[in-house]
Structure 1
């Protein structure tokens, strides 16, 4: 499992503040992770089981827009980690996933062609010019669709 030693967000009853805080941008990209002066910002990390994460990556990539940012995998490929904007963990409540708040904990959106920011991990999708992080609203929708697809496939057996 991807572990960065940070605190995960508790489920918020009665709805999600994530959606309210992170409305999709018109081009479905995440808010920029780099300020105009070139300073790299911290990010949060959404971790999911690899099967659901791989389905979500496929869903996001089929969407056409640069809706998926860097994605980490753990050394055993049991989990995937999506880099998301800082503050996402405060309201993340997607069942079967966790969002780790890393602000102040050293996890930062890396530059292109850099080593993963978490030891024992590798890049499934390395950082590139399409955008630094995944929009949490778009990720939430993709993870939900992925969970439904997996459930349907498992029920067909």
Structure 2
């Protein structure tokens, strides 16, 4: 997923998240993690790529500096002060979980836990 250069539109439902990093994971693991986070604490905006191969979780800026979870990547981005609304801020993606004010980004520690649990769930299901 590559950050787009054009800012999102100024819709009334815009959510303030002007700067963020992007954690990218395989779709299957990401979908499991979204379910886990929704059931427990909530999840911030999540992008899916047009091919359906990956999901991207918007996390607070600075997360990329210490992110080291195998099987995932965290990219530092420059939100450019834009508000999240309408079209996704990353070219070639769509919203799986659109922005909302209650969770402008996903907590990276909670995301790490959910991704670990998702990986274990997938591993157990594949072993059957």
TM-score per shorter chain, which class? Answer: 0.7 to 0.9
**1:24-60 deviation per Cα after TM superposition (whole angstroms, max 9, x unaligned):** xxxxxxxxx94xxxxx531000000000000000000
> How far did 1:128 drift?
1.1
Q: Report the TM-score when normalising by structure 2.
A: 0.84
- 8 Å CA contact 1:60–1:142 kept in 2: the answer is yes
- 8 Å CA contact 1:83–1:109 kept in 2: the answer is no
Q: Tell me how far apart the structure 1 counterparts of residues 75 and 88 of structure 2 sit (CA, whole Å).
A: 16
Question: Aligned residue for 1:91?
Answer: 66
Name the structure with the higher strand share: 2
Q: Report the TM-score when normalising by structure 1.
A: 0.69
Q: What do you get for the CA RMSD once the two structures are aligned?
A: 1.9
Distance 1:109 1:47, change over 3 A: farther
**1:58-107 deviation per Cα after TM superposition (whole angstroms, max 9, x unaligned):** 000110x3x3100000001110000000000000011100000113xx46
**1:88-137 deviation per Cα after TM superposition (whole angstroms, max 9, x unaligned):** 0000011100000113xx466633x4210011100000001222100000
Question: Aligned residue for 2:20?
Answer: 43
Higher RCO by CA contacts (8 Å cutoff, separation 6 or greater):
2
Question: Aligned residue for 1:154?
Answer: 126
Bigger CA radius of gyration? 1
- 1:73 paired with 2:72, answer no
Distance 1:130 1:50, change over 3 A: same
- 8 Å CA contact 1:46–1:97 kept in 2: the answer is yes
- Trace 1:71-150 onto structure 2 (pairs within 5 A): 71-103=46-78, 106=79, 110-111=83-84, 113-150=85-122
